[in-house]
Every structure is written in C-alpha cells, then in structure tokens.
Structure 1
Amino acid sequence: MTLAVYQGDLLAQTREWTSLHDEELRRRAVKAAGEKDIATLVSMTVAYLAHQGGSGVLTSARTVEAYELGTRQFIEYATGQAVNLLRPGRHDAQNYINHMLAAGRKPAGAQLKVAAASCLYRALRWAGATEADPFRDAKVPKDRTPGIIKRPPYSEDDLQDVLEKADVHEKFLLFLVSHAGLRISEALALDWEDVDESGKRLHVRSGKGRKGRVVAMSTSLARAARHYRALYGPGGPDHHDGRRATPGTRVFRYGSTPTARYHLGKAFKAAGVPFRGFHPGRKYAGTRLIQQIKDFGRVAAHLGHESVDTTRKGYAQLAADDLKGDLSGW
C-alpha cells in the first residue's frame, strides 16, 4: 500500500467522526465506551490522532498501527478487570502499568502502551464522553540501561558473514541500513533519482518527522548500488528467479517492512547469524562512526536524529574498550 493511498484512507476514517454533530459524536463515544466496543473505540482514537495529533493525516502507518494495537490491548485489559472506561478509578491507570511490568514488559514498551491508552482518553474527551484523564499522574519507571546495551548493534564479523551469503539485492539493502544508517522506512521509500552512486550521496526525502536529509554513501554502498541498479533499475533485465526490474521510479518493488524482513532474513539465516531486525544495522553505523570521528553532531546528522542526545544515549555510545589505547601506559 502506498503512502498516498494510506493517507486517503486515514482522512476518510477521520471524516467519519468529524462529520458528526457534537451530540451524535458524544452519543457514539459513550455507547462504545460503555460496551467496550474495541473496533469503534480504535476507530475513534485513530480519527482523533489524525485530526488533532501533531502530524495529522500525515501520521505514519507504523504509528497508526502502534496506536491501534495499544488501544486494543488497553480495552482488553479494562474488559478483563471490569474497569469503567468513562469513570476509571484513581488506581486503574497505575494498575495497568504495573500489570504490564509484572508480566515482563520493559519500561520503554510500557510507555508506548500508555501513550496509546492516553490517546484513547484524549479522544473520549474530544468526543465529550468523559472528562477523565487517568494517565495524567501515572508513572512508568525509567530504564537506566543504555540503549546500546539493551539493543546492541550487529558486530563487524556478523555483517561480514551475512554479506558473504547475500545476493545483490540483499547486500544493497543491508548496506543502506548498516552504512548509510537509514531507517528501513527510509530505505524502502527511496526513488532511483535519490541514489547518486557517482557522487556517493543519498537523498532521503521521507525521514522521521517528514524531514529530508542528504546522506553520504560508503565506497561499499556505492558499489552495491551500481550493481543493483544494473540488474534491477529501470530498463533492467528480467531474471530467472522471477524478480523483474523495479517498475517506475521506486528503488524497491515492495514498500512493507515484513517483506524487507523476509528478504534480508534469508541472508542472515544462510550465514547462521540471528536476525534482530534492521535497527541494529543503524546502531552499527552510528557506533562505528563515533569510534572513527568522535563527533556526535555529525553522526546525528548522518542518522537523521533531531537531537544529539538521541545519538549519544541510544545509538552511538563509545564502546567500553574505546579507552584501551589511552589506558595502556598507565
């Protein structure tokens, strides 16, 4: 599904609610909350997110999916615990958080679920169904473990092992993530005109927060891009494996993360390396650059981080043995 079609669906879903008179909007919201009607409450929450949220109808599909899932899970919990959605008790929100933590969910994951549940209540207040704001004072404990420790990057050896087993398509995708440091959504949104192998530059037009940036390409990535374009670029040959040259301007024939996961996962499996997703590739790029240039600002720009603190805390902390050389004479 393309972004344009998705946004159209999101706008249509929003209008289903915004076209209602205030009293009808309130009536439907009250009825859905009273019956704990998951489908209706999820629809209302997404409509509110697209109408009143920071990104409006430009909210990414991934964000919408996360909020849909989080809203559904909270309503299921509320149903099981007999929580009155319109008149929640003063302990209900914290009980939900504690329930998730006791079940083994990490604080960061719990925070995402709280964001969805809080959005549900903003939607209910928007609809005039309640004044309740149960998550306002609820607390999710902070996880003090650095992100680089919780979710470490792929090692150099792991990447080399995978590259030895990868085909042209898989190599190009892996280099986009682990050398250019692209988010998988950014890689899948590339058009051919965004890839400049001779100038060793990528133009990312659909970065997080809809911010564009220009990213430098490594020598290996530029070489992989040339090879990939020769085989799969516009006007390229058909192939015995059933893959055809990419139609139109888009670099990849598909636009979904699960499909990309399937393709790259094959190379990891062949190499005997556990596939932990695409983010450890971005962390590899950040960590290696920090060790090489020791400039968080430049690395943040490469990764497309709005804040240098994001780079410092979660992506590119110096490796524990970075001081070995400095301490060797002590």
Structure 2
Amino acid sequence: MDAPTSLPLALARHTLLARTREWTNLPDDELRRRAVRAAGDRDTLALVSLTTAHLAHQGGSGVLTSRRTIEAYELGARQFLDYAAGQALNLLRPGRHDAQSYVNHMLAAGRKPAGVQLKVAAAGALYRALRWAGATDADPFRDVRVPRDRTPGIVKRPPYSEDELADVLESADVQVKFLLFLTAHAGLRISEALALHWDDLDEAARRVQVRSGKGRKARVVALSTSLARAARHYRRLYGPGGPEHTDGRRTTPQDHVFRYHHPMTARYHAEKAFQAAGVPFRGFHAGRKYAGTRLLRQIRDFGRVAAHLGHESVDTTRRGYAQLAADDLKDDLSSW
C-alpha cells in the first residue's frame, strides 16, 4: 500500500500541475508564439515558468519533482537569463561560443566546478523547454566543458566533529536536538526528517521508516541507542497526547513529527543553536557526513554505510560522505 501523501506535499504537486497546464493546455502554435515572444522580450518570468512547466511535464519525475529541485532550476534559469541580458545574447540563435563563455564567466568569478555544473544543468533545461515549445532548435549547452573538481566533497565540506555536535546539543532546544540526532545518527536528509510521521518512528524496534527519500525511494533506517532514547523523550513531549502537541500552537498536520516542515525554517532554528554554542553551522549535510564517517570507521564497509545513508551508488558515499582516517592501515601494517 502506498504511503499517505501529506497535505503540504499534495498541495505543492497540485500547484505544480496547475503551473504546467498554463503551457500544456495551449495549442501548439500558441505555445510556440508565446515562447518566441518571451525569448524576444527577455521575459524572465515567462521563460522560467516555461522551464518549470517542461520539467514537470517531461522531466524524469514529472509533477513528483521535489520543490528543492524546482527552486534550484528556477534560480539557475534566472541567473543565465540575467547573464544573457547583460551580454545581449540572442536567446533563440545563440552563437557557438556563448554557452562555453557563460561557463568560463562563472569559473573566472570564483564559482566551484560543481556549482557551475548545476547552473549549466538549469540553463540546459531552459533550452530543452524552448525546443519543446518549438521556439528554437538550438542546444548550446550540449557540448560545453566544465572542469572536474578532484577534491573530495568530504574534504571541501567536512562533517561535524564529535565535540562540535556535543556542544550544539547542549545549547539546542528539544526539536532542534532531535532533528540533529536524526541527521547525525540516522543519517537522514533534512527533507526526510521533516517529512516524518509519528507512525514512522518505532523506538522499541529502534528503526525509522523513511517514506520520502531521494528519488522517492523508501528505506528502513536503524536507530542508535541514544537516538531511540531521544525519540522516546521527544514523543512524550510532542507526540499525540503530549503537552506540546496539544498546546494549540501547532502549524503542521497533527501526524507530523516536527512543527516546521520547510528546510529554511529548520535551518533558522538550527543556526540559533549553533550560534549559541559557538560552532559554525555548515548545513544539515555535515550531520549526514558525521554519520557516514563514524559508521565507516566502525564497520569499514562502504556498502552498508551507503545503505544507511540512502545512497544508490557506493561511489557517492566514497566521494562525499564517509572518510577513513589517514592512518587507517597503521595496525594492519604493524607486522610488516
């Protein structure tokens, strides 16, 4: 049986479908006319709307595309359109150097290759939408080259240390503390944690059911002893019938674990706790990296760590989420 869809998620999908139909309900000739006019007028609002419509209609996930993905593509499309306006580029008939020049412009400005790749993906999505609408045949980003960044992600954006997490947990309120436990012990993404329902938590069996993982993949995650203990304490306060659950101030559906459901709201509350502890906030992913690194050093099995973090590829875990100590082989080499 499919997991129930939360009200905010259902509304978001309905809104995305409605935005898509603003374009898909048009006859082909009208769709082309509006797209050509938007490109000629450099109408950023219309062009971003067209990009979103195509992504939600023809993209791999369709109307199930996550809000964060939509926001990232919309931002990237706007940034390319701003650049194109500043360079007086012809959107429908771009020159053969225009796309690579955009890449080089971002690199020269100090953007990291990984970030540039994301901006290229968004600009490419804009041109896929224009081709879909029949406004152009141009595919300028097909052959662009972005240099590879060979520095592992875990080096560029390291995990929190044991001491850092301990200091923050002392300063955090109950909700932020439990949220950090879910990221740093269960290795949940922030979106996965905020989507949890009460019946997803099983403290007795020490496991949590993730129903809305990346790519809509569900998984069961084991809970550490301290996380299971924190979950029991949290449920007594905020669970159905608890004093904080019935105080009349909840703004999320009653079956949700957290009062707030948007990552930016969670970030706001977490940053206050980190600031109070004197620890720089490096995002919730640094908690996932703590989980991956600590677990890898304990079990030395990238496959099991990848499963815990919900990674489809072990390479993802190896590149950016788990790191063995530099002298990991010291004991193994001691008898040589």
TM-score between the two structures when normalised by the length of structure 2: 0.95
Give the alignment of 1:269-288 within 5 angstroms. Answer: 269-288=275-294
SS in 1 for 2:208: strand
Matches within 5 A, 1:190-201: 190-201=196-207
Letter in 2 for 1:165: S
User: Which one of 176, 182, 191 corresponds to residue 188 of structure 2?
Assistant: 182
* Cα 1:16–1:242 shift into 2, 3 Å: closer
Rounded Cα–Cα distance in structure 2 between residues aligned with 1:245 and 1:34 = 44
2:255 matched to 1:249? yes
Q: Return the alpha-carbon distance in structure 1 between the equivalents of residues 282 and 319 of structure 2.
A: 20
Picking from 307, 310, 320, the partner of 2:313 is 307
Rounded Cα–Cα distance in structure 1 between residues aligned with 2:173 and 2:249 = 12
2:20 pairs, out of 1, 5, 14, with 14
- Within the candidate set 73, 78, 94, 1:67 is matched to 73
> Which residue is 1:109 aligned to?
115
Structure 1 CA distance for aligned equivalents of residues 34 and 327 of structure 2: 59
Aligned residues: 330
Shift of 1:247: 4.9
Shift of 1:321: 3.1
How far does residue 164 in structure 1 lie from its aligned partner after superposition?
A: 1.7
**What SS class does the counterpart of residue 42 from structure 1 fall into?**
helix
- Tell me if structure 2 keeps the 8 A contact 1:162–1:271: yes
Query: 2:106 aligned to 83, 100, 112, which one?
Result: 100
Q: Please name the residue that 2:326 is paired with.
A: 320
What do residues 134-188 of structure 1 show as CA deviations (whole Å, max 9, x unaligned)? 0011011100001110111001111111112222222111100000000000000
Structure-2 change in CA distance of 1:247 and 1:93 (3 Å) = closer
Take 1:157 and 1:225, find their aligned partners in 2: how far apart are those partners? 22
Pairwise CA distance, 1:49:
0.1
Partner of 2:269 in structure 1? 263
Deviates more, 1:246-255 or 1:31-40: 246-255
> Is this contact kept in 2: 1:234–1:246, CA < 8 A?
no
Q: Percent identity?
A: 78
The verdict on how the C-alpha distance between 1:155 and 1:28 changes in structure 2, with shifts beyond 3 A counting, is same
Q: Which runs of 4+ in 1 moved over 6 A?
A: none
**Match in the other structure for 1:143:** 149
In the superposition, the TM-score normalised over structure 1's length comes to: 0.96
Distance in 2, matches of 1:296 and 1:24, equals 52
Partners of 1:91 and 1:324 in 2: how far apart? 51
Listed one character per residue, the Cα deviations across residues 14-44 of structure 1 (whole Å, up to 9, x for unaligned) are 1110111111000000010111110000000
Give the 5 Å matches for 1:84-99. Answer: 84-99=90-105
- Candidates 57, 60, 65, aligned match of 2:63: 57
Q: Deviations over 1:83-126 (max 9, x none)?
A: 10000000000000000011111000000000000000000000
Q: Write out per-residue CA displacement over residues 217-249 of structure 1, whole angstroms, 9 at most, x where no aligned residue.
A: 00111111111110011111149x996597521
**What corresponds to 2:226 in structure 1?**
220
Q: Is the 8 A contact 2:169 2:177 kept in 1?
A: yes
Deviation (angstroms), 1:265: 1.5
Worse-matched range after superposition: 154-163 or 1-10: 1-10
> Is it true that 1:80 corresponds to 2:81 in the alignment?
no
1:22 is matched by which residue type in structure 2?
Answer: D
Between 257-266 and 44-53, the greater mean CA deviation after superposition: 257-266
Q: How big is the shift at 1:269?
A: 1.2
Gaps of 5+ in 1: none
**Relative to 1, partners in 2 of residues 1:308 and 1:203: Cα closer, same or farther, differing over 3 Å?**
same
The equivalences for 1:26-41 within 5 A come to 26-41=32-47
Alpha carbons of structure 1 residues 52 and 181: separation in structure 2 relative to 1, 3 Å: same
Q: How well do the aligned residues superpose, as a CA RMSD in angstroms?
A: 1.8
Kept after mapping to 1: 8 A contact 2:152/2:319:
yes
1:169 aligns with 2:194: no
Residue identity in the other structure for 1:235: G
Q: Is the 8 A contact 1:168 1:224 kept in 2?
A: no
Contact 2:252 2:261 in 1 (8 A): no
Deviates more, 1:54-63 or 1:266-275: 266-275
- C-alpha deviation, 1:323, in angstroms: 2.9
1:237 paired residue among 240, 243, 253? 243
1 CA distance for matches of 2:30 and 2:250?
51
Q: Unmatched 5+ residue regions in structure 2?
A: 1-6
